[in-house]
Structures are given as C-alpha cells and as structure tokens.
Amino acid sequence: MRYFMDISYRGTNYSGWQTQPNGVTVQEEIEKAISTVLQAEIPITGSGRTDAGVHATQQIAHFDADNIDPNQLGFKLNSFLGPDISINSIRRVKDDVSARFEATSRKYHYHLHQAKDPFKTGLSYYFRPELNVDLINEGCEIIKGWQNFECFSKVHTEVNHFNCDIFQAKWVQEGTNHLFEITANRFLRGMVRAIVGTLIDVGLEKTSLEGLGLILRSNNRSEAGRAVPPDGLYLQEVIYPKDIYID
C-alpha cells in the first residue's frame, strides 16, 4: 500500500532534503525514523528537493508499507524525530501515485525583513535597503508571461527542458516585512532564489524592466541576479489531484 506523508521542517541544520554522502538531510532523518518504527528498510520519495538551509511548510513524500495505522505511525515518527521536523499527516493514496510526478503545482514563499529582528534569524532574509515594490510587481508580470527559465537555473542541471508554467508571482510588503509568492507546475534547481535576487535588483532600480526581459531572453545564468540566502525560502504547498486519495 502507498501512503503520502505531509511534512514540515526547518532546514537550518540540514544539507537539504535529499540524501547525500556528506551531510545530514531531512530525507535521511525520516527514513531512519520510519525504518526503526516499522522494523524494515522503508525508502521515501519527496515531491522535490530543497537545498541546504531551505525550509518547508509542506513537503510531500510517498512510501510503501502494509498493515499500518497512519495516525499511530505519525505519532511515533514525531516521537523519534527532532524538534525541527514534523509529520503532519499520513494518508493512503493509489498504489501507482508518485509524490514527485503527480504534483500539479508547487508554491514557494520567500521572506525578507528590513528591520533587525532576532526572532527572524535563520527564517527570513535581513535586507535593509528600500525597494520599489510597484516596480518589482511589474517585473513579476513579465516573469509570469515567460516560459523558458534557463537564466534562473543552476548550471549543469540535468533536465530535459527549462520550461515552467508560472501560475502566480507577486511581491507583498507589510511594514518592514516582505513576502514573495510564486506558484508553478515545476521549478528548476536554484530558480526561486535567483528570481528573488533578480527582482531585488529591479526593486533597487539597478535592473530595468527592459533589462529583466533581456535577462530572460539570454538563457544565461550569469546574466541574472545573485541567489539570495536560503534562510528566507519555504516550500509552502504541494498540490495534487483530489482523486489520488483513497481515504
């Protein structure tokens, strides 16, 4: 039987989501916990990877197991896992459904604050200069109308294509706090942090809207802005068709 696991984590102390030879990862910690609880090797597959230091309000992963009580398993896993990883729920899905390939959209948030705040350290990007938010949102409209995002992708990324459908992109300011929201069918490695860095240049009026168009057309990562720190980035939500769930 296949199950979807809804997970939240603070990524500060992890080398990202995906298991790797050097560094502790979120996937590794959950696999160790579930294999201990179920007394069997249980691999899990996430909806996508997040880089070192990036957080998730909602990450989805699937795994296969028989004769489990999802509520009890979630409770036991939370007892084994550290305070920075939480299993929010476990639900039965159809046996051929993949957490990675069946997702119809993913939403990311990026948090930025302009007033020093010790309670935001590691959870938001402290950036003091003033930004032209109206100009940034004009840039968001340009990005929403684009499809090939090679200019925002980490180089040497093994993908079949660089096309993404952006459903939503907007920048919201509330006082000294800023939130960038972006939703798409898929994202490339490093894409959101590169977009935010480029939009910051637009907001600082270092890059014009015409310049943003040139960056998009260049298909060249070196033409775009810097990647902002991972602290402010959250995988916010992963959406699936409703008919994949069995209960």
- Strands 105-113 and 45-46 come out as unpaired
List the catalytic residue out of 6, 51, 134, 247. 51
Q: Would you state the pLDDT for residue 204?
A: 98
10 Å Cβ neighbour count for 170? 15
pLDDT of the chain along its 247 residues, tens only?
999 999 999 999 999 999 988 899 999 999 999 999 999 999 999 999 999 999 999 999 999 999 899 999 999 999 999 999 999 999 999 999 999 999 999 999 999 999 999 999 999 999 999 999 999 999 999 999 999 999 999 987 888 899 999 999 999 999 999 999 999 999 999 999 999 999 999 999 999 999 999 999 999 999 999 999 999 999 999 999 999 999 7
Pick from 129, 133, 113: nearest CA to 121 = 113
Q: Would you state the pLDDT for residue 133?
A: 98
Q: Would you state the pLDDT for residue 21?
A: 87
Residues 6+ apart with CB under 8 A from 175: none
CATH 3.30.70.660 positions along the chain are 105-236
Identify the CATH class of 105-236: alpha beta
CATH 3.30.70.580 positions along the chain are 2-102
């057309």: which residue's tokens? Answer: 217
51 a catalytic residue = yes
Q: Would you state the pLDDT for residue 158?
A: 80
Q: Would you state the pLDDT for residue 96?
A: 95
Q: Would you state the pLDDT for residue 190?
A: 96
Burial of 227 (0-12, 13-18, 19+ CB in 10 A): buried
Burial of 247 (0-12, 13-18, 19+ CB in 10 A): exposed
Q: Which two tokens stand for residue 117?
A: 């705040």
Q: Tell me, rounded to whole angstroms, the distance of Cα 149 from its chain centroid.
A: 16
Looking at the DSSP assignment, which residues form a beta bridge with residue 63? 3
CA–CA separation, 241 and 221 (whole Å)? 33
Name the fold adopted by 2-102: Alpha-Beta Plaits (3.30.70)
CA-to-CA dists, residue 154 to 65, 180, 210, 232, angstroms: 35, 20, 23, 18
Q: Would you state the pLDDT for residue 138?
A: 98
Q: Would you state the pLDDT for residue 216?
A: 98
10 Å Cβ neighbour count for 171? 24
Phi, psi (deg, nearest 5) at residue 78? -65, -30
